[in-house]
A and B are shown apart, each in its own frame.
Chain A
Amino acid sequence: MSSKAIVCRCEDVTLDDVEHTIAIGYRSVEEVKRYTGLGTGPCQGKECMVHAALLCARASGAPPETIAPFTSRPPVAAAPLRIFAAAEKDDDDQAQR
Chain B
Amino acid sequence: MKELTPTVGPPKRSCAIAIVGGGVMGLSIAYQLARRGLTDVVVLERGYLAQGASGRNGGGVRMQWSTELNVRLMQESFVLCRHFALEIGVNVWFRQGGYLFLATREAEREKMERNVALQNRVGVPTRMLSPEEARAIVPELDVSRVVCACYNPKDGVLFPWPFLWGYAHQALARGVEVHLFTEVSAIERSSGGFLLHTSKGPVKAERVVNAAGAWSPQIARLVGVELPDRPHRHEILSTEPLKPFLTPMVSVLSSGLYFSQSMRGEIVTGITVEDHDDDQVKMGSRLKFLTTLARELVRVMPRLADVKILRQWAGPYDVSPDGAPILGEPPGVPGFYLACGFGGHGFMMSPVIGELYAEWLTSGRRHQVFDESRLDRFSKVRPPGGNGHEELIIG
Contact = CB atoms under 8 A, between A and B. Distances in A.
Interface of A: 24-26, 28, 30-31, 34-35, 40-42, 44, 71, 73-75, 78-85, 87, 89-97
A71 B307 CA distance: 23
A57 to B, nearest CB: 17
Contacts of B165: 35
Interface in B58-95: none
11 contacts: A24-B4, A26-B48, A28-B48, A42-B310, A71-B313, A74-B312, A75-B309, A81-B294, A81-B306, A85-B291, A92-B286
A80 B48 contact: no
B286 A78 contact: no
B311 interface: yes
Given A25-B5, A40-B311, A73-B313, 7 more contacts: A25-B6, A25-B8, A26-B48, A78-B308, A82-B294, A87-B287, A96-B284
B226 interface: no
Interface string B278-301: 000001111110111111011000
Contact of B287 (A41, A78, A89): A89
A82 B309 contact: no
B390 interface: no
Contact of A44 (B161, B285, B311): B311
B284 A81 contact: no
Interface of B: 3-6, 8, 48-51, 55, 161, 165, 239-241, 283-288, 290-295, 297-298, 304-314
A84 B286 contact: no
A85 B48 contact: no
Nearest to B289: A90
A35 B161 CA distance: 8
Nearest to B293: A84
A74 B49 CA distance: 23
B311 A90 contact: no
A40 B312 CA distance: 11
B49 A93 contact: no
Contacts of A35: 161, 165
A78 B242 CA distance: 14
Nearest to A87: B291
Contact of A90 (B6, B48, B288, B308): B288
Q: Which 9 A-B pairs have the closest CB atoms?
A: A73-B311, A25-B5, A84-B294, A85-B294, A78-B308, A90-B291, A82-B305, A90-B288, A85-B298
Contacts of B298: 81-82, 85
Nearest to B304: A81
A74 to B, nearest CB: 5
Given A90-B291, A91-B287, A31 B309 contact: no
A94 B309 contact: no
B315 to A, nearest CB: 11
Contacts of B161: 34-35
B292 A90 contact: yes
B67 to A, nearest CB: 34
A81 B304 CA distance: 7
Contacts of B311: 40, 44, 73-75
B142 to A, nearest CB: 13
